[in-house]
Structures are given as structure tokens and as C-alpha cells.
Amino acid sequence: MVQRYDAVVVGAGGAGLMAALQLAGHGNVAVLSKLYPTRSHTGAAQGGIGAALGNLEEDHWEWHMFDTVKGSDYLADQDAVEILCREAIETVYDLEHWGLPFSRTPEGKIAQRPFGGHTKEFGKAPVRRSCYAADRTGHMILQTCYQQCIKHNVHFYNEYHVLDVLIEQGRCAGVVAFCLATGEIHTFHSKAVLFASGGCGKMFRVSSNAHSLTGDGMAVVYRRGIPLEDMEFFQFHPTGIYKMGILLSEAARGEGAILRNKLNERFMERYAPTLLDLAPRDMVSRAIYREIREGRGIDGKNYVHLDMTHLGKEVLDEKLPDITEFARTYLGVEPLTQPVPIQPTAHYAMGGIPTDVEGRVVIDEKNTPLPGLYAAGEVACVSVHGANRLGTNSLVDILVFGRRSGRHAAKFIHENDWAPLGDQADSTARDAVSQVLNSTGKERAADIRDVLQDEMMDKASVFRDAQGLTTLREKLGELRERYKRVKSEDRGKSYNTELLEVIELGCLLDLAKVLVESALARVESRGGHYREDFPKRNDADWLKHTLAYQTSKGIELRFKPVVITKFQPMERKY
């Protein structure tokens, strides 16, 4: 079945909805999402969205920009970061105008609180910059954007799973999607396609990410010859619930919570004397791993404590109600009186589909755009986060660049016609589906995924080295072989979620391989990528972005310069 649209947005999280709102009214637009929009993982974001409103103390977008660049370990492109931090301010006001129920200051302004790595006067002390709605900021953003979409009659295809993107003669021609309800494959012939399909945290065992975050958008685009940028940079958030990985927002530390080891020491004093527990995430996660390695984990196990007992009932009830409840529900721990067991959890892909600041997907080191193809949000790499994202900056990113890409795509569909659709445009997707459904193999997706997640956690998480990564590369090869024999017991048409789990696993395997190759190549340590065999940052050789291409001879790596405008690289101390 072929349907024709001016533009198709893939994904209905914050980025996709924001883009759709820009496109609404500019033509015939469809939003495809494998989840009902309000189930998207943007809704899980807790802590806040960063913008230098200065509601509680002096603040400036330049300070926000400095923090973002320094937090990125100087790998972020500074032209993009400038846009991010300037436009953050109007974006937050827009959200408020759309009805987002921010928490308020006594004067009725949007409330703000401190967050990791956000400072005043270029690093002097923490600043209150994170705009929040209790610890449900992402929920409110997702709801508010979806509400606006209802108001503006945005057309959704819910529970449509995108399997492929169509590139014809150097232009984007549409996508192919699987309808969960019927099991039918639909071709969406479209002038513009905007990927906003989120991250890929499910390649790791312990993760804050939803089951659905399997990097589909990245994988689908990559298989069509488009590179992926900076995939070696994956953020581990310091405070995930022990074993489960459920996130306890940095907002807890923003409100004063403290990390402690088994000796009850506030160990961050040793690692980041100025910002302490509010140092950037890569540093705090490494500090926790070090404490554990040196035997100071609680009970000799691989976790430490997040201590909120001194914050008092009012702060917990009013500012951190959800995470307090998570600790009670999932750990049976009462944060008012007991410390909470935490460990670093796989959280955020800094890398992704390379784009320029208009959200256009670019395909080489010269930033050549691929006409009609856009990406925004966690699936994309602009790059505003470089080697390490600061807390609150993803929500800014998805909205600022969701909006810019949507606006640019709206212009594009006015000025351009459809690229011709190739013969049998859906054949790749169809083959992928029928291969799984007709497989006579005996492998179970879950068994392969178990090995993948454990191995990635063990060898490609907070600490990495050549030996581990090389072993991992071989393991991934074996898993790829096993994947060829994977089966789906469910061969039905309606809601065949087993089939889709198999397809999602295929995406994770491809992306894990890109991550490992990129991490092996980068023989330095920067931000979230820490090589124990190369513990120093090396600007002379490595102040550049990685671009990984799939070729018939395997993965080819190329490199792209970093855009530096205002801030020259310096040593990163907090």
C-alpha cells in the first residue's frame, strides 16, 4: 500500500511533536510512531529543561553556552551550542504559553534549580538554571506538545513501526512502515522525512531507557549509507536504581542529595572539589566506578548510596515526589530515613545521525545535506552535546532542533516535488519481515540480547580498553551469526510484537558494532568515552568528530572537524 504525504515525521516524543507542530498547516503531514505519542520516553524525563531565564539569580545564555561546551569536553560544535542556549529561552516561554504547568517561584515565575555542570560566571559556582515541573518535567513537556498537536489537528499513525527509509537518486523519497494492528506494510511516499525516533540505550544491561529505545531510526538510516556521528560517546548517568537502572534524577543532587561510599564518605570531594556531587555525569559515573573498584562500594557490592535523608519531607514531597516513590516502590527504601542504593545507568546517546543546525541530515565531513532528510532529538547529532551531555540539555535540544528542523522541512516541501519512488520500494522491509517469519532457525532473540547487553555493559560502558573492546568486537560478530538463525514463534498478523522485538534487536546489534569500532579507533579519553589505556584527552589528534559508514568491506571511519567559535579548549576541572 502506498500513501503520499508532503512530510512524514518518524517518532512522537518531544522532538517529533515539536517538528510536527511546525509542519502543521504547511501541507499534508503524517506522524508515524510505534508507540501512542504520550507513551514516548520524553515522558520519563524528570529533572528539568535548562534555559538562562535568570528568574532566581543572574544568568546569561553565554554562561549556559560555556558550560555546555566545557561539559562536552570541547567536542560540541559551538555554532550549534550557541543556537541551543539562545533559543532555549524563547522555547521555555513558548512551552509556558502552551500551558506547561511549571513549578513556580513565590512571585509566580517559572521555578529554576541547580543541575550538574551548570554554573555562573564561567565555572565559579552552581547556578539555578533548570526550569522544572516537580520531577515530571518530561511528562509535562510530552503532554503539552501532544495537546498542542490535538489542537492543531496533527495527523497521527499510532503503532506504526518504521522499518526502512527510501533514498532515491540522492534524495529522500519516504519511509516504509509496519502497521502493528494489521501486520501490513505501508509505503509512505513523501517529499521530506524527519526522524525523531529517540535513543538506543537498550544495548546495555542496566539502562534508564524504555524497552522501546532500540535505535531504530539510527540503524535504518545507517543501512542506507548515511554515516553515524560520535557513536562512541554514550552517557552513563550516575544515579540509576541498583540493578534496575531506573533513573533517579540529578535534580535530587540539585536539591542537595549527596553520594556516599561504604565509609559514609562524601567521595565527590576528592574528584570535583568545586562542584562536588553536581559535577558532570561522566565524571561522577567514573568516580562511582572507582570507589567500587577500590572496595568502597556498599557491602563490597557494585553500588553506592544516594543520601537524601537530610532534605526533609517538604522537599521530597514537593520537588522530588516521583523519584521518592520510585525508591519506595522498587527498592522498598524510604528516602526520608534511608540512603538509596544506586549505580551508573546507560542513559543517553550523544552520537547519532549527523545534522546541521537546520536539522538537515548531512552525509560527509563537508556537511553536504541529503535533500529531504531531517533528524532531531536523541536520534540526531548536531552536535550540541559533544562527548558528554549536561543534564537538562536534551530537553532543550529536542525542542530547539525539533522546531528548527520542522521549520526547515516546511520550507522544503513548498519548494520541492516528490522524488520518484523506486520499483518495489518496500522490498527491503518486506524481505526483513518475511525472513524472520519464515525462519527455520532455533535462536531466541532474548538469548542474543542478553549476551549483547551483558557484554556491552562489561566492556563498553564507563571504562573501556583495547583488549575488552577487541574481545567485544568478536562477540558481536558471533551474535550477528546467531541472529541469522533467529526465529519468531508468533507468525500472526495482528500485534506481532515478537517479530518487532527481533527487528529491534537487529538494530541494536548494528549500532553496538558502530559504537565498538568508533570506541576502538578513538585512542584518547574524552567525556563519556574513557579509555583506560589512553586516559588523557588528546586535542592534537582527536579534537574531531567520528563518522562511521557501513560499507561492503565493513565499517569505514572518517572524521570531521569541530566548530570552535567562542571558547578554546581548556583542561576540564570542576
Partner 1 sequence: MQVTLKIKRFNPDKDKEPWWGEYRIDAEPTDRLLDALNHVKWYLDGTLTYRRSCAHGVCGSDAMQINGRNQLACKVLLNSLGNNITIEPMRGYRVIKDLLVDMDAFLAKYRSVKPYLITHGPEPEKERLQSPEDREKFDDTTKCILCGACTSGCPSFWADGEYIGPAAIVNAHRFLFDSRDEGGEERMEILNTLEGVWRCRTIFNCVEACPRDINVTRAIGEVKKALLYRKV
Ligand X SMILES: Cc1cc2nc3c(=O)[nH]c(=O)nc-3n(C[C@H](O)[C@H](O)[C@H](O)COP(=O)(O)OP(=O)(O)OC[C@H]3O[C@@H](n4cnc5c(N)ncnc54)[C@H](O)[C@@H]3O)c2cc1C
Residues that bind ligand X (CB under 6 A): 10-16, 32-35, 40-42, 44-49, 137-138, 161-162, 196-199, 208-209, 213, 216-217, 247, 249, 348, 377-379, 391-395, 398
> If contact means CB under 5 to 8 A according to the sort of partner, which of partner 1, ligand X, none does residue 427 touch?
none
Instruction: Give bridge partners of residue 49 from the DSSP assignment.
Output: 131
Count interface residues toward partner 1 (CB under 8 A): 59
Q: What mask of x and - would describe binding to partner 1 in positions 5 to 44, judged by CB under 8 A?
A: ------------------------------xx-xxxx-xx
> If contact means CB under 5 to 8 A according to the sort of partner, which of ligand X, partner 1, none does residue 99 touch?
partner 1
Q: How far is CA 372 from CA 255, 414, 520, in A?
A: 44, 12, 33
Rounded Cα gap, residues 45 and 202, in angstroms: 16
Return the C-alpha cell found at 474. Answer: 568478536
Active site residue 491: no
Rounded Cα gap, residues 521 and 141, in angstroms: 38
> If contact means CB under 5 to 8 A according to the sort of partner, which of ligand X, partner 1, none does residue 101 touch?
partner 1
Smallest distance, Å, CB 480 to partner 1?
Answer: 20
Closer to ligand X by CB, 507 or 520: give it: 507
Among 246, 228, 227, 226, which residue's Cα sits nearest to residue 237? 246
Rounded Cα gap, residues 91 and 396, in angstroms: 8
Which one of 281, 286, 449, 522 is the catalytic residue? Answer: 281
Closer to partner 1 by CB, 38 or 309: give it: 38
Percent helix / strand / coil, the chain, rounded to 5: 35, 25, 40
- Cβ proximity of 528 and 519 under 8 Å: no
SS3 463: coil
Is residue 443 at the binding interface for partner 1, with CB under 8 A as the rule? no
> If contact means CB under 5 to 8 A according to the sort of partner, which of partner 1, ligand X, none does residue 38 touch?
partner 1
Cα torsion 269, 275, 278, 284 to 10°: value is -50
What is the CB-side half-sphere exposure of residue 502 using CA atoms within 13 A? 25
Closer to partner 1 by CB, 53 or 476: give it: 53
Is residue 2 at the binding interface for partner 1, with CB under 8 A as the rule? no
Write down the residue that cell numbers 577487541 correspond to. Answer: 470
Among 288, 278, 207, 270, which residue's Cα sits nearest to residue 452? 207
> If contact means CB under 5 to 8 A according to the sort of partner, which of ligand X, partner 1, none does residue 88 touch?
none
> If contact means CB under 5 to 8 A according to the sort of partner, which of ligand X, partner 1, none does residue 47 touch?
ligand X
Q: What burial letters (b/e) apply to 257-291, b meaning 16+ CB within 10 Å? A: bbbbbbeeeebbeebbeebbbbbbbbbbbbbbbbb
Is residue 91 at the binding interface for partner 1, with CB under 8 A as the rule? no
> If contact means CB under 5 to 8 A according to the sort of partner, which of ligand X, partner 1, none does residue 198 touch?
ligand X
Smallest distance, Å, CB 149 to ligand X?
Answer: 12
Closer to ligand X by CB, 51 or 288: give it: 51
Among 443, 453, 516, which residue's Cα sits nearest to residue 484? 443
Closer to ligand X by CB, 34 or 128: give it: 34
Instruction: Give bridge partners of residue 341 from the DSSP assignment.
Output: 305
Of 60, 223, 290, 493, the one binding partner 1 by CB under 8 A: 493
Stretch that binds partner 1, among 93-101, 262-270, 278-286, 303-311 (CB under 8 A): 93-101
Among 27, 36, 24, 16, which residue's Cα sits nearest to residue 152? 24
Among 130, 146, 131, 133, which residue's Cα sits nearest to residue 40? 146
Smallest distance, Å, CB 209 to ligand X?
Answer: 5
Return the C-alpha cell found at 224. Answer: 542506507
> If contact means CB under 5 to 8 A according to the sort of partner, which of partner 1, ligand X, none does residue 14 touch?
ligand X
Sorted by sequence, the CB contacts under 8 Å of residue 485 that are 6+ apart come out as 439, 441, 442, 443
Stretch that binds partner 1, among 95-103, 278-286, 344-352, 377-385 (CB under 8 A): 95-103
Of 429, 436, 445, 479, the one binding partner 1 by CB under 8 A: 445
Footprint (CB under 8 A) of partner 1, residues 104-163: 104-110, 133-134, 136, 139-140, 143, 147-148, 150-151
The binding site for partner 1 (CB under 8 A) comprises 35-36, 38-41, 43-44, 53, 92-93, 96-99, 101-110, 133-134, 136, 139-140, 143, 147-148, 150-151, 181, 210-212, 244, 246, 322, 326, 329-332, 444-446, 488-490, 492-495, 497-498
